Chains A and B, each alone.
Chain A
Amino acid sequence: MMLADLWQIVASDAFWIATLRIGTPLIFGVLGVLLCERAGVLNLGIEGIMVAGAFAGWFAVYLGGSLWTGVLVAALTGAAFGLLHGVLTVPLGLSQHVTGLGITMATTSLSYFAYRVSFPKLTEPPRIAPFAELDFLLPVPVLGPVLGAQTALTILALALVPLIGYVLYRTPLGLAIRMVGENPAAAEGAGVSVTATRIGAIVGGSALMGIAGSFLTLAAFNAFFFNMVNGRGWICVALVVFASWRPGKALLGALLFAAFDAAQLRLQQSSVGGAVPYQWWLMVPYLLSITALVLVARKAAYPQALMKAYHRGER
C-alpha cells in the first residue's frame, strides 16, 4: 500500500520538480556554510541572514527593481552581515557560536521590524511577480520536463556547485581558503593573510545565504511571510557535515534531503499517509537532518581549525 504509493510518487515528474525546488535554497545555503567552514569559521548567522535576504530581495523588487536586482540586493545584504560576523569572530576573536546566534537574532528582528515599518497596516502580504519558469527547456530530452518547471535561480544554484568546487580545489584562492581552515599558522607562513582570507570567505558564503533566502520570496513564493525560513538555515549547517565539506556531496545531500521532503509532502496526501497527524510528517525533515549528522559524525573530517580563533604568534 504505502510502497505502491511511494513508487507512484517517485515515478512522477511532479516529484522531481518539487525535489529541485525544495533543494534550491538548500544548495545555496549549504554552499554558503561550506565556504565559511572551509575557512575555519562557523556561521550560525545563516538562519537570520536567509530571513534578511528573503526580505531585502523581495523589498527591492517590490520597490520597482528587477528580479535580478532583488537577488543582488539579497546577496549584498548577506555579505554585509557576513562582514559583521567576520570582523567580530576573526580579528576580535569572539565566540563563533554566540556571535552567529546574535547575528541571527539581529537580522531576523531587523527584517521583521523593517517589514512592519514599511507596511504598518497590512493584513494581506503584498505580492510581486516572481521568477518565471524556464519553458524553453521543456523540449530537452529526459530532463526537459523537470528543468523546464524550474526558475533561473535553480540553474544558478546548480552551476555554482562545479564553480565553487573549481575555485576551492584548482585555484590559489581556494588553496588559501582551505589552508586558513586547516592550519592557519602554516597559511600565514606561506604569506596568506588569515584575517583577510577568513573574512572574505565569510562574506562570500553569507552572500550565498542571502541569495538562498531570496529564492523563497522571488521564486518559491511571491511575498514575504514571517517564519518563512523555518529552520532551513540550521538544516544547511547539518547538511554540510553530511557532505563532508565537499561541494559535490553538498549538492547530493541537499537533493537527497529535498527528495525525502518532497516524498513526505506527497505521502501526507496519500490514503495511508493522511491517517498520520500532519505534525508527524512535518517533523521528518528535522529528524532526517539529525539522522544525517548521526550517520557521519564519527568519521566526519571537520576542517581542523574550525571554531578556533587564530592569533598570530600564538600556538
Chain B
Amino acid sequence: MIRLEAREQASRTAVIVAPLAAIAFTLAACGLLVLWAGAPIGRSFAALIAGGFGSRFALAETLTRATPLILTGLAAAVAFRARFYNIGAEGQLYLGALAAVAVGGLHGGAGFTLAAPLLFIAMMIAAMLAGALWLAIAAVLRTRLAVDEVVTTLLLNFVVLLFVSWMLDGPMKDPTAMGWPQSVALIPELELSKLVERSRLHTGLLIALGAAALLWAMLKFTALGFEMRAVGANSAAARFAGIPVNATVIKTALFSGALAGLAGAVEVAGRTSYVTLDMSPGYGYAGIVVAMLAALNPLGVVLAAIFIAGMFVGADSMSRAVMVPTYIADVIVAVALLAMLVAAQLVRFRVRWTA
C-alpha cells in the first residue's frame, strides 16, 4: 500500500529538481510521439525550441501568444486561490472580445463620437464587465443554490460560443466579409500599437504584465487578497474568523471573469481587430495549465505563460519543418500539467510503501 507522509520541510534541492524532472519526463514522453510520427527526434526538438525561442521573430511571436495566456492564467490563478474553479475563461474571453468590438463600434454610429483613448478605456471596461458578469452567474448559483461551478462554467462555454456564432451570423456580422462569420473590424485608432517592428507583438503585453503585478500586490497586501487566500485555504476556518465567505467567492469570480474578458479585448485590439469563432485556440483552458504550473502565483503565471506559448509557437514551426502534427503542442501542455502536479506533490509529501 502507498501512503503519503507530509515532509516537515521541503528540501531545497527537491524544490528545484522536481519541476525540471517534470519537464524532462514531458519531453521524453513527447519524444515517443515524435518517433511515432516518424520524425528524427533531435531535429524535431531543435525545431521546437528554435521555433519558440530561437530568434527575435520567434520570441516576439511567443510573447504575442503569451499575452492572452497571461491574462487567462491570472483569471484561473485568482479563482483557484479561493477554490472557485472557473473553467469558463474560454467563454468569458469571447464575451469580452464581443463586448470590446460592440463598444468600439459605437464610434461614428448614431452621431456618437468620443476621443479614441476614452473609447479605448470604455472598450476594456466593457470587456471586463462582460466577463465578470457572465462568471457571476456561476458564482451566484454556487453561493445561493450550491450548484457546482465546475460543471456550470464548462457548460456555459458552449452557450457563449453559440451566442458568438449567432452574433457573427446576424446582429454583429461584417457585411463586407464575404459570408465569413466575423464581426466588423475596430477602427485603427482603437488598435494597440506594435511593440516590435515587423512582428505581431503589441502593447497588450504591457497590459498583461501590469495586470499580473497588480494582482500579485492585491493578493499579498490587501484585505480582499487575504480573504481570498483564507477562503481557499480553509473556508470553514475563514467563516469562523468572520470572513464573509460567499461575498468573497463572488468578488473573486468578478476579478477572474474580468481578467478573462480583458484577455478577449486585448486580443481583438492587439492582434485580430475583429471577432471570429476561432480567435482563441483554447486560451481559456490553457490558462488553467498556466496557473497550475505557476503554483497559482501571479508572477509565476507570466513565466508559465511564456513557456506554454513557446511550446505552441515552437510546435507550429516543428510541424512545418518535420511534419509532426501540431496537436503535439496540446499533448506537451497536458502532460506537463500532470507531471508538474505529481512533482509538486512529491515535494510536499514522502511516498511510503507499507505492507
A298 touches B156 (CB 8 A): no
Q: Which residues of chain B from 317 to 337 have any CB-CB distance to chain A below 8 Å in the complex?
A: 323, 325, 327-328, 330-331, 333-335, 337
Q: Which residues of chain B from 27 to 79 have any CB-CB distance to chain A below 8 Å in the complex?
A: 33, 36-37
**Is A297 on the interface with B (CB-CB < 8 A)?**
yes
Chain A interface main SS type: helix
Chain A residues near B152 (CB-CB < 8 A): 290, 293
Chain B residue at smallest Cβ distance from A238? B151
B288 touches A98 (CB 8 A): yes
**Is B118 on the interface with A (CB-CB < 8 A)?**
no
Cβ of A108 to closest chain B Cβ, rounded Å: 7
Q: Which residues of chain B from 1 to 27 have any CB-CB distance to chain A below 8 Å in the complex?
A: 1-4
Alpha-carbon gap, A108 to B282, bound state (A)? 13
A311 touches B3 (CB 8 A): yes
A113 touches B342 (CB 8 A): no
One of A144-152, A157-165, A172-180, A275-283 contacting the partner: A275-283
Chain A residues near B241 (CB-CB < 8 A): none
Chain B residues near A293 (CB-CB < 8 A): 141, 147-148, 151-152
Chain A residues near B158 (CB-CB < 8 A): 230-231, 283, 286
A103 touches B85 (CB 8 A): no
Q: Which residues of chain A from 39 to 96 have any CB-CB distance to chain B below 8 Å in the complex?
A: 44, 88, 91-95
Alpha-carbon gap, A105 to B340, bound state (A)? 15
Chain B residue at smallest Cβ distance from A281? B162
**Is B169 on the interface with A (CB-CB < 8 A)?**
yes
Alpha-carbon gap, A231 to B155, bound state (A)? 7
**Is A17 on the interface with B (CB-CB < 8 A)?**
no
Size of A's binding interface in residues, CB under 8 A: 48
Alpha-carbon gap, A120 to B37, bound state (A)? 10
Cβ of B338 to closest chain A Cβ, rounded Å: 5
A234 touches B151 (CB 8 A): yes
Chain A residues near B342 (CB-CB < 8 A): 88, 92, 94
A116 touches B327 (CB 8 A): yes
Chain B residues near A280 (CB-CB < 8 A): 162, 166
Alpha-carbon gap, A231 to B87, bound state (A)? 13
Bits for A115-156, please: 1 = Cβ < 8 Å to B, else 0.
011001000000000000000000000000000000000000
A283 touches B163 (CB 8 A): yes
- Chain B interface size, under 10 / 10 to 19 / 20 to 34 / 35 or more: 35 or more
Cβ of B135 to closest chain A Cβ, rounded Å: 14
B341 touches A277 (CB 8 A): no
A110 touches B166 (CB 8 A): no
Alpha-carbon gap, A311 to B169, bound state (A)? 53
**Is A4 on the interface with B (CB-CB < 8 A)?**
no
B285 touches A277 (CB 8 A): no
Alpha-carbon gap, A153 to B139, bound state (A)? 39
Chain A residue at smallest Cβ distance from B286? A105
Which A residues have a C-beta under 8 Å from some C-beta of B? Answer: 44, 88, 91-95, 97-99, 101-103, 105-106, 108-110, 112-113, 116-117, 120, 193, 195, 230-231, 234-235, 237-238, 241, 277, 279-280, 282-283, 286-287, 289-290, 293-294, 297-298, 300, 311-312
8 A-B residue contacts at CB 8 Å?
Answer: A94-B345, A102-B334, A106-B331, A230-B158, A277-B166, A279-B162, A293-B152, A297-B147
**Known contacts A93-B345, A279-B169, then 20 further A-B pairs from the complex at CB < 8 Å, ordered by chain A residue:** A88-B338, A98-B337, A98-B341, A99-B341, A103-B334, A105-B289, A106-B331, A106-B338, A110-B331, A113-B33, A120-B325, A231-B155, A235-B155, A241-B151, A286-B156, A293-B147, A293-B151, A297-B147, A297-B148, A312-B1
Which B residues have a C-beta under 8 Å from some C-beta of A? Answer: 1-4, 33, 36-37, 85, 87, 141, 145-148, 150-152, 154-156, 158-159, 162-163, 165-166, 169-170, 285, 288-289, 292, 323, 325, 327-328, 330-331, 333-335, 337-338, 341-342, 345, 349, 351
